[in-house]
Amino acid sequence: MIDRLCEVVAPEDVYQVAFQVIFLRFMGGAIWSPLIRRYGPAEPALSMSWANTRIDSLFRLGVRGSMGAVGLFGEADRRLSALIVEVDRVEPAEQAVNLFDACLDRYSYRFGEGGNYYTPRGIARLMAGLAGPRAGERVLDPVCGSGRLLIEAAQWARRQWPGCGAPLVYGRDFSAEARRVAAMNLVLNSLTGDLGTGAVDSLRDGSTGLAADVVLANPPFKMSGWGHDELVGDPRWSFGQPPKASANFAWVQHILSELSPRGRAVLLLADGAARSTRGDEKQIRQRMVESDVLAGVVALPARLFPHTRIGASLWFLNKDKTPHIGWGKNSRLGEVLFVDARRFAKRADRSRWHLADDEVTRICRVFEAWRGADSAGAVADDLMEKVNWCRSVRHEEIEAYGYDLTPGNYVRSSPAATESSPDHDVAERSPKEDLYERFEETARINERLRSVLRGM
């Protein structure tokens, strides 16, 4: 029914309506009944039922205009009616939560591009697991989108420490539509949260002053118009001015500015951020390593994102790697854990890959064991020596590699493991991408040679 509505209305508007209908089905009772038993057009009834939820005022979302303004009349309204009837068949109403989640994935798969997509569930679970949020901690997502990272953070804490409650979640986003989706998603998952007072651009708006215990973020890839000129000399750029052509290290340093003195963060970045040979980006990486705020880098499998073939990595940041409750009992000063997880993808269907829950658990357990976290349980101390896809590396070795943070430099995975990765379907890479990668590899080799010669 959603596809049929997309034939006559813009997909972004259709999915906003679909999210609202699913949410109202979950609310049920006096909220849902007038919509399914209405007489007359569906759109006015939908607007009235939505207003009765008071979610706009609860989350300070502003009032959403009538959908009739974007063409929901005539045939479009009849197709909306059919969608409402179809959603009404969802029993029990609690299954609407799964339907809402599936709808998020479907939208990203079919229409996602640039920053306009929602974080895949497997990656969201992995990011939450690496950060290990605890009940009562402040968790921030400065580009929250659908709120999935915040929800996974709360669910992680609930699973690890049953009965202890959930973290306090805070989200910010520049899209009014995304904030509305996040609000619905939070309510569907029995969470209250702070989504700010309006849509904001987190980079231009500056730090919230929250002093978050945990930050989780999936900023847009290849973001160029991020406000470079107006933010020259910003106090957040403690490791260096980010380049104008890419917001990668603007996001990294913004996120660090949001953390408490013992805060930790996990963010998703395109692979280019780890290996770029640009002088300004390399200098920022060097200063991050030397300041010991980088705790780990995880190379992700290819094809996890439906809208791009760009490789991606997770960066685990931490302001204090000495033993404490939010970190664990192991001091990891001067070390970075590199994980090559490119072989861990599983095929979801003919064209999609995903990170399954068991793979997410494997990666998280290694990080927990490395940190000595309480949640590691009975994991053996020698776990790190039993796997060939991760390695703890001292800063001196990273310096020898010219501060290239690509996990493949430090982890020697077996050939069979590498060959099973979807990364090896190189036929789909463009010649331009292949050429750029060869240029960067040449530059990395030259840097290693220089490091060796300097030490002779």
Taken in order of first residue, the domains within the chain and their CATH numbers are: 2-111 (no CATH), 121-428 (3.40.50.150)
Per-residue model confidence (pLDDT) at position 265: 98
Q: What is the pLDDT along the chain (456 residues), one digit of tens a residue?
A: 788 888 888 888 899 999 999 999 999 999 999 999 998 899 889 999 999 999 999 999 887 654 444 557 789 999 999 999 999 988 877 788 899 999 998 888 777 665 567 888 999 999 999 999 999 999 999 999 999 999 999 999 999 889 898 999 999 999 999 999 999 999 999 999 999 999 999 999 999 999 999 999 999 887 888 999 999 999 999 999 999 999 999 999 999 999 999 999 999 999 999 999 889 999 999 999 999 999 999 999 888 876 677 789 999 999 999 999 999 999 999 999 999 999 888 877 766 778 889 999 999 999 999 999 876 554 545 556 667 899 999 999 999 999 999 999 999 764 444 434 444 333 344 444 445 445 555 555 555 555 555 555
Per-residue model confidence (pLDDT) at position 311: 85
Per-residue model confidence (pLDDT) at position 278: 87
Q: How many residues does the chain have?
A: 456
Per-residue model confidence (pLDDT) at position 428: 40
* Sign of the CA dihedral with 140 first, then 146, 149, and 153 last: positive
Beta strands in 205-341 (DSSP E): 212-217, 259-270, 294-299, 312-318, 335-340
Which residues touch 64 (CB under 8 Å, ≥6 apart)? 50, 56, 180
User: To which residue do tokens 């463009």 refer?
Assistant: 430
Per-residue model confidence (pLDDT) at position 436: 45
User: 77-86 burial by CB neighbour count: b if 16+ within 10 A, else e?
Assistant: bebbbebbee
Per-residue model confidence (pLDDT) at position 22: 95
Model confidence, pTM: 0.88
Per-residue model confidence (pLDDT) at position 375: 63
* Sign of the CA dihedral with 129 first, then 238, 201, and 222 last: negative
Per-residue model confidence (pLDDT) at position 300: 94
